[in-house]
Amino acid sequence: MTGFIIGLDFGTLSLRGVLINAATGKAEANQAADYRHGVMTSHLPSGRRLPPQYALQDAADYSEAAESVLRHLGQGRHILGIGLDFTASSPLPARADGTPLSALHPDEPHAYVKLWKHAAAQPLADAINARGGDFLESCGGRLSGEWMLPKAAQIQQEAPAIWDQAARFIESGDWMTWQLTGIERRSLDFAAYKAQYRPGISYPDDVVPGLADRLGMPATVGTAVGPLNDDWRRRTGILGAAIVAVAVIDSHAVLPAVGAVRPGAWVGALGTSAAYLLLEDKPLPLPPGLEACAEGAVLPELWCYEAGQAGFGDMLGWFVQTFPRDADLARNFALYNAEAAGLAPGENHLVALDWWSGNRVPYADSHLSGLLAGFTMGTTGAGIYRALLESLCYGAHFVKDCLTQGGLAVSEILLTSGLAHRNPLLVQIMADVLGQDITVPALENPTAVGAAIHGAVAGGVVADFTEGAMRFGASAGTLYHCDDRQHSAYQRIYRSYRQLAEDKTVRDTLHDLNHHQQNAFLGSARDMA
């Protein structure tokens, strides 16, 4: 088939797009664009200061970035399909015509996109969890403050005037497909995993007053929303059918790109945060501690069990930027990795809890903070960095334990996204900690390629995701073998990690430290006022 498909990967800080030749299956171009305002954690563009644990974005940045990337990739070309993924959960309030309320109320924090790491909604999630309800069964009995319902509850309670004006409350991925086509069509992927939608039952209708009226019935992944509309064709110069697929969660989009279209495949997408997905062809109860499961929301006819780590690459980035050895970030990482690689398991005498951005599994608690234990006078910077690398792998081990203890089988492990390709030391430690070989598929921009495969399915370029994976996905990869001696050493340290992680006194202390920081901020804000 003559023409191209485009995949758009809307990440935390930027958009990356890839252009794939539909006939050859080869990526011919890629393009990135940063979001103008990035992540707003301290103040709005108007200058208004934000409370602690806010993480907002401006929806206008998404459109601006999309126009730039689509024009670069698609101008003058016949585009057959466009797929897009989005960091989740990032909902926004909008008018009935799709206008974001932030465009009308630029000085109101609750009018903006609430990014996935907007931790200020966690108390609302705690309150919903305390009430209970059947809708919690598919997410382990508790909502995360990252998800749609608590964020809606926060607006409804703290900014009722904004809530009254919000005819729609919509995930940014669904909002973006609406902008591109002029048609509002929600994604089952976002609805099932981030808004507790259940087929045959719909959304919870008694949690946030009026929320159900602000949502919409979802469509399965691979479904066409519609063709790119005339306005966007003028803005980008795109020709051809340009069928836009329903949006998909960023970590989920990668599955067909890395060939994970069969039961037993466990995929880890290692980026700013980490997401872990296990495919199964039969329903099993959600194991305790995991985040969610749903049928057909990620790939048709397969169950997908989801878990993750709230902080991953951003935790390592924090360390090397806070304690730099070189002005260049890549060189900084290289220096720390080279020295850390020379340390044997346990040689640094340290263990860390990987909760710099809170915990997803098994506590679903964004108010938890991180911990480093075991300092001595011999502790070095490289030793601390190695402890952080190891802690991320211990967190993944905890996730795997939850899966296997729940009766699920992990037959193969595939790691992808930025860190899996850029940090081989991390992947080798992961294999040694988990006690299982790991494959890193050889594919540039795998998440964007996965999004493009969604566009190919929606546009009729391929019959299904299996064919899409075969034609456009990875065909080779790097295999990391588990070292059994290293694994035995790590198992001893992992027991210490679990002892700390499961100790309620430790968790209460980490909560208290976060509470003290919030009180200090509020006191400072009152003094300034």
Is the predicted pLDDT of residue 16 greater than 60, yes or no?
Answer: yes
Alpha helices in 355-503 (DSSP H): 381-405, 418-422, 424-434, 446-458, 465-472, 484-501
Which residues, 6 or more positions from 401, have their beta carbon under 8 angstroms from its beta carbon?
Answer: none
The predicted structure's pLDDT at residue 518: 56
Q: Taking a C-beta distance cutoff of 8 angstroms, is the pair 184, 171 a contact?
A: no
424-434 and 484-501 helices, crossing angle to 10°: 80
pLDDT (average), residues 39-46: 96
Q: Taking a C-beta distance cutoff of 8 angstroms, is the pair 118, 54 a contact?
A: yes
- Using CA atoms, how far apart are residues 499 and 378, in angstroms rounded to an integer? 24
Give the model's confidence band at 517: pLDDT under 50 very low, under 70 low, under 90 confident, else very high.
Answer: low
Q: What is the DSSP letter of 212?
A: G
What are the start and end residues of each CATH 3.30.420.40 domain in the chain?
4-251, 265-442+483-529
- Using CA atoms, how far apart are residues 498 and 354, in angstroms rounded to an integer? 12
φ and ψ of 4, to 5 deg: -135, 160
User: Looking at domain 265-442+483-529, which of 3.90.78.10, 3.40.50.300, 3.30.420.40, 3.40.50.720 is its CATH number?
Assistant: 3.30.420.40
State which H helix or E strand residue 275 sits in: strand 274-280
Q: Taking a C-beta distance cutoff of 8 angstroms, is the pair 46, 107 a contact?
A: yes
Dihedral in degrees, nearest 10, Cα atoms 428, 431, 435, 439? -130
Tokens at 119, concatenated: 């931790």
Give the model's confidence band at 525: pLDDT under 50 very low, under 70 low, under 90 confident, else very high.
Answer: very low
Q: Taking a C-beta distance cutoff of 8 angstroms, is the pair 132, 204 a contact?
A: no
Residue type, 20: I
Mean model confidence pLDDT for the chain: 94
The predicted structure's pLDDT at residue 223: 96
Residue count (the chain): 529
The predicted structure's pLDDT at residue 389: 98
Kindly report, residue by residue over 197-240, the tens digit of the pLDDT.
998 899 998 899 999 999 999 999 999 999 999 999 999 999 99
The predicted structure's pLDDT at residue 138: 84
Return the bridge partners of 86, or none.
Answer: 10, 249
State which H helix or E strand residue 156 sits in: helix 148-158
Beta-strand relationship, 292-295 and 303-309 = antiparallel
The predicted structure's pLDDT at residue 325: 95
Is the predicted pLDDT of residue 61 greater than 60, yes or no?
Answer: yes
Is the predicted pLDDT of residue 330 greater than 80, yes or no?
Answer: yes
Half-sphere exposure at residue 212, Cβ-oriented, CA atoms within 13 angstroms: 10
The predicted structure's pLDDT at residue 418: 82
The predicted structure's pLDDT at residue 121: 95
- Using CA atoms, how far apart are residues 370 and 278, in angstroms rounded to an integer? 26
**CATH fourth-level superfamily of 4-251:** ATPase, nucleotide binding domain (3.30.420.40)
Q: Taking a C-beta distance cutoff of 8 angstroms, is the pair 136, 143 a contact?
A: yes
- Using CA atoms, how far apart are residues 385 and 303, in angstroms rounded to an integer? 36
Tokens at 35, concatenated: 């979001």
Which residues, 6 or more positions from 505, have their beta carbon under 8 angstroms from its beta carbon?
Answer: none
Return the bridge partners of 202, or none.
Answer: 198
Kindly report, residue by residue over 468-481, the tens digit of the pLDDT.
999 999 999 999 99
- Using CA atoms, how far apart are residues 519 and 501, in angstroms rounded to an integer? 25
Kindly report, residue by residue over 86-135, the tens digit of the pLDDT.
998 999 999 999 999 999 999 999 999 999 889 899 999 999 999 999 99
The predicted structure's pLDDT at residue 291: 84
Tokens at 142, concatenated: 């508790």
Which range is least confidently modeled, 47-56, 131-140, 438-447, 481-490?
131-140
Cα-atom radius of gyration of the chain, to the nearest Å?
22
Return the bridge partners of 358, or none.
Answer: 356
Q: Taking a C-beta distance cutoff of 8 angstroms, is the pair 338, 325 a contact?
A: no
Residue with tokens 């609406």: 178
Beta strand spans in 192-255 (E): 218-219, 224-227, 243-245, 248-249
Residue type, 260: A
Is the predicted pLDDT of residue 523 greater than 60, yes or no?
Answer: no
Q: Taking a C-beta distance cutoff of 8 angstroms, is the pair 161, 108 a contact?
A: no
- Using CA atoms, how far apart are residues 355 and 497, in angstroms rounded to an integer? 12
